[in-house]
Chain A
Amino acid sequence: MTGPIEHRVREALRVQAQGVPADGPPPWRASGRQTKHRCRPTWSRPMVAVAASIALAAVVLIVRSSERTEPRTTVVAGQPAAPAETPGLQSTPLAVELLPAAPGPRPVLADVETLVASPIERASMAFQAGRSRGDTRSSWFVSDPRAQTLRAVVDLPVSGAGDLSPDGTALVFVNPLADGRSAIAVADIPTGRTTAYARASAVKTVKWSPSGSQLAVLEKTDTDLLWRATVVERDGSLVASGGVAEGEQGSSLAWSPDGSQVAMLGCQGLGACRGTVLNVARNELSRTSEPAIWMAWADARHLVGERRFGGALVTDTAGVTQREIAVDGRPAGPQAVSPDGKSILMLPSSSGIGQTFIRVVNIETGATTRELVAPQDGVPSVLGWRGSDVLVVRERPGRLEVVRVRSTVAAGEVVLVRPFSGEGFSSTLVVAEWFAAG
């Protein structure tokens, strides 16, 4: 006989599984290795002729592209940079029309609807709200913390990945296209005007450069199925592109503080991940050897990462020098590194019952410089920094709050109340750099 707890578990899992997957199965596409293994073709004369024509055309393309002076090239980890066009990527952006939003009310609380007309010139935070995964009525909202206002800047189907420009005047986000590809869309926050251009079908992350002039896109190209960090100008024109090794999955995209490099992780199967650093100007790749589950920049030469089995490490971009930050606990994610790269936020390793402290640790010395009390029991979700303070998400009945925590005793200051009801959720919350820097 099924008791109450079994019943609740069954019902909870049933509800959670609703809406997964958001769409039907993607078209089946075997990898190149499988295709070679299982479907080796029998070469007929016409096929040989076609292949020869393609090879000849490829040679001509390579010769032409090698005559370019701009570094619009692509490289793959473990291979020397080759002056060839990135497969599946166009150097000239292809402007696209975004899918329109479905009719109907936005899935957020009614009191937010009264705030959406408030003008915001410079946003501090942005988040996405939708009824369910892949909801065509989801929206991006931005917040001005001084006025406690929210405004919907994008009322379009969005995938969840997005980023605020460092100065808070533009929002970039990923938008699904009708043909299965993804678009990178840039919304100007003061005007709400959005421009978009097509990218590959799988785009995991998009990040603004520190100057706000370029974007790094973590995507898997449709032709060679390699995960790449692709750097584009704000208008979508291609600057550089470098991929992780074949068979690796890309994740954890991060710009260096000076905007000259982009770091990402390449994970071999489900095993260890290694850092891959793309030098944007020189279009060179280097690899770090230490496994990590994410990486962030401490300065232009050093990366901070979280070890797969706990703890934090510091490694240089060449992967030669590594050292551990000898502190118990785990880093609070890529956003844990302070804007000046000197400190990192550490959380308890255990699930944490009761009051929890967030430790501020000096990356260079490993010394704990401060301890901040989490605004509610348990291990908190840390959003990042606000000057020397820390932004933490606090759950309240029927809503979520972003709380600025600055001491070991005070409850913290609420800087944003996010709309959240039983019908809505937020999958992303990003903080603009100008706001994080205080």
Chain B
Amino acid sequence: MSGFTGFYESHYAATARLAYLLTQSDLVYEDLVQEAFTKLHDRFDDLDRPAAYLRVTIVNLCRQWHRGEGRRARRHQLVAPIAGDVAPDLIDVLDAVVNLPYRQRAVLVLRYWAGWSEAEIAEVLSCRPGTVKSTAARALSRLRTELGT
């Protein structure tokens, strides 16, 4: 149990950030993180790579949430709760990223924020690395169009 608790404490913050970026919701990301760790807790002793299981779980939970209420709930949010001194052009980028389909957004978050390899992203999204590459290209192309760059 202490092994799980230590894992939980060391992986909580990064998992929370990932869930927040994928959901863009202050209201749900903590619940999703808790749910992911709960699922992991059930199987923790049997897993060789609990970190891999955790990241697959959190990405899938965020996707499930997003399919339902995420898109609409986000529209009701009055102001994106952005911390720090954010330049206006970065706010435009975030707005454009938020408007991407979940899969494209997930690829950008996992690739450019989490720094995962295409193979790792392909694993959690259940697709081929080539698909990750093409999805990222489509997402960036769409951002360029929206941002006029």
Q: Which residues of A contact B (CB under 8 A)?
A: 4-6, 8-21, 24-26, 28, 30-31, 34, 37-39, 131-133, 160, 204, 249, 269-271, 293, 306, 308, 330, 332-333, 347, 351, 379, 381, 383, 393, 397, 400, 420, 422-423, 425-429
Rounded to whole angstroms, the CA-CA distance of A429 and B77 in the bound complex is: 10
Query: Which 5 interchain pairs have the tightest Cβ spacing?
Result: A25-B12, A132-B83, A19-B83, A13-B113, A12-B93
Q: Once the chains bind, are A20 and B17 in contact (CB under 8 Å)?
A: yes
Q: Once the chains bind, are A9 and B83 in contact (CB under 8 Å)?
A: no
Q: Once the chains bind, are B21 and A13 in contact (CB under 8 Å)?
A: yes
Given A14-B113, A21-B12, A133-B26, do A429 and B84 touch, yes or no (CB 8 Å)?
A: no
- List of A residues within 8 angstroms of B53 by Cβ: none
Rounded to whole angstroms, the CA-CA distance of A333 and B75 in the bound complex is: 9
Query: Which one of A26, A31, A133, A397 lies within 8 Å of B81 (CB-CB)?
Result: A133
Which of B61, B86, B140 has the most C-beta atoms of chain A within 10 angstroms of its own C-beta? B86
Q: Which residues of B contact A (CB under 8 A)?
A: 1, 4-5, 8-9, 12-13, 16-17, 20-21, 26-27, 29-31, 34-35, 37-38, 41-42, 61, 64-65, 68-69, 72-73, 75-91, 93-94, 97, 99, 108-109, 112-113, 140, 143-144, 147, 149
Query: Which one of A8, A28, A347 lies within 8 Å of B89 (CB-CB)?
Result: A8
- Distance between A72 CB and nearest chain B CB, rounded to angstroms: 29
- List of A residues within 8 angstroms of B64 by Cβ: 270
Rounded to whole angstroms, the CA-CA distance of A6 and B149 in the bound complex is: 12
Q: List 18 additional A-B contacts (Cβ < 8 Å) besides A20-B83, A269-B35, A270-B65.
A: A8-B89, A9-B108, A12-B93, A14-B113, A16-B20, A16-B80, A20-B13, A20-B17, A21-B30, A24-B13, A38-B42, A39-B1, A133-B81, A306-B72, A423-B84, A423-B85, A425-B80, A425-B81
- List of A residues within 8 angstroms of B21 by Cβ: 13, 16-17
- Interface of B: prevailing SS: helix
- Distance between B127 CB and nearest chain A CB, rounded to angstroms: 20
Given A9-B108, A28-B4, A293-B69, do A17 and B97 touch, yes or no (CB 8 Å)?
A: no
- List of B residues within 8 angstroms of A397 by Cβ: 88
- Distance between A423 CB and nearest chain B CB, rounded to angstroms: 6
Q: Once the chains bind, are A18 and B83 in contact (CB under 8 Å)?
A: yes
Q: Once the chains bind, are A15 and B84 in contact (CB under 8 Å)?
A: yes
Q: Once the chains bind, are B85 and A422 in contact (CB under 8 Å)?
A: yes
- 5 A-B pairs with C-beta separation under 8 A: A5-B143, A14-B113, A270-B68, A306-B72, A400-B79
- List of B residues within 8 angstroms of A38 by Cβ: 41-42
Rounded to whole angstroms, the CA-CA distance of A109 and B113 in the bound complex is: 31
Q: Once the chains bind, are A12 and B90 in contact (CB under 8 Å)?
A: yes
Q: Once the chains bind, are A17 and B4 in contact (CB under 8 Å)?
A: no
Q: Once the chains bind, are B93 and A9 in contact (CB under 8 Å)?
A: yes
Query: Which one of B8, B61, B91, B94 lies within 8 Å of A270 (CB-CB)?
Result: B61
Given A38-B42, A400-B78, do A25 and B97 touch, yes or no (CB 8 Å)?
A: no
Given A12-B97, A249-B31, do A426 and B86 touch, yes or no (CB 8 Å)?
A: no
Q: Once the chains bind, are A379 and B82 in contact (CB under 8 Å)?
A: no
Query: Which one of A6, A15, A26, A308 lies within 8 Å of B83 (CB-CB)?
Result: A15
Given A16-B94, A34-B38, do A330 and B16 touch, yes or no (CB 8 Å)?
A: no
- Distance between A428 CB and nearest chain B CB, rounded to angstroms: 8
Which of B41, B75, B109, B143 has the most C-beta atoms of chain A within 10 angstroms of its own C-beta? B75
- B93 (CB) vs chain A CBs: closest residue: A12
Query: Which one of A10, A308, A393 lies within 8 Å of B69 (CB-CB)?
Result: A308
Q: Once the chains bind, are A10 and B113 in contact (CB under 8 Å)?
A: yes
- List of B residues within 8 angstroms of A17 by Cβ: 17, 20-21, 113
Rounded to whole angstroms, the CA-CA distance of A82 and B78 in the bound complex is: 41
- A21 (CB) vs chain B CBs: closest residue: B16
- List of A residues within 8 angstroms of B109 by Cβ: 13
- A291 (CB) vs chain B CBs: closest residue: B68
- List of A residues within 8 angstroms of B37 by Cβ: 28
Q: Once the chains bind, are B99 and A25 in contact (CB under 8 Å)?
A: no
- List of B residues within 8 angstroms of A20 by Cβ: 13, 16-17, 20, 29, 83
